Structure 1
């Protein structure tokens, strides 16, 4: 579709052509009504609230990470025990595997949860017993 000519739009008036009624003194004035009581001063406690939020986030986020780390440590020890069991069934225990397991059991990890820590100590004890059976004694 092609537009060939432009027709001016008629009937539209601009702001200047608008008729004004009243005089300049009739400007808007709000109804003040009664005398209003002064408002109490407010204090800005946003800084304190944000600091509390940061501290609580730091406190909350640390525990699950410690628990995950302790869980990984326990799974690594159990996997090492399974590998030694497979080696024993095969007839020869790998010295490298024993060394790696001895190193893993020497580092203790705390989760912060007494039940998880108790289970970890039991797994570590079992690893030490199995290492002692094959001649690797750990303090």
Structure 2
């Protein structure tokens, strides 16, 4: 079928006869193995520009930064309570301390509000002290 342009198609013709292999014992073989091209290296895909733009818009929203900072602070306080309860119950502190370490690593992000930053600093200090009591450090 021949396609001449958008929306136009040429005539369709019937397929011709196909030839069959001449013997039952014919096998597939490459004529010249030296002509085989070497594999080429692939390159990393370019970042999606639309997604980058969307993330930049989200980053620029001060209300969203404030909301995320508050959520991280609350999560750190909840994990500090979890460590305290595990300590009072005599339970294994390992899992709770591991979660607290992960939270401490992601706690610091600029919210753009000095008052909120002061509260996050105080929470971060409490987390660092609690981790230091148990021989762990804040991984950044």
Measured against the shorter chain, the TM-score band is 0.5 to 0.7
Q: CA deviation at 1:94?
A: 2.8
**Alignment coverage as a number of residue pairs:** 81
Do the aligned partners of 1:87 and 1:94 also contact (CA within 8 Å) in 2?
Answer: yes
Show the counterpart of 1:6: none
Show the counterpart of 1:134: 134
Cα distance in 2 between the residues matched to 1:135 and 1:91: 17
Uncovered stretches (5+) of structure 2, i.e. residues with no partner: 1-56
Show the counterpart of 1:111: 111
Cα distance in 1 between the residues matched to 2:91 and 2:70: 29
Show the counterpart of 2:100: 101
Show the counterpart of 1:73: 72
Do the aligned partners of 2:87 and 2:93 also contact (CA within 8 Å) in 1?
Answer: no
Q: Which has the higher contact order (CA 8 A, sep 6+)?
A: 1
Cα distance in 2 between the residues matched to 1:80 and 1:93: 14
Give the 4+ runs in structure 1 shifted more than 6 A: none
Cα distance in 2 between the residues matched to 1:131 and 1:97: 10
2:90 pairs with 1:91:
yes
Uncovered stretches (5+) of structure 1, i.e. residues with no partner: 1-57
Q: CA deviation at 1:118?
A: 1.0
Root mean square deviation, CA, Å: 1.9
TM-score of the pair, normalised by structure 2: 0.53
Cα distance in 2 between the residues matched to 1:93 and 1:87: 7
Show the counterpart of 1:33: none
TM-score of the pair, normalised by structure 1: 0.54
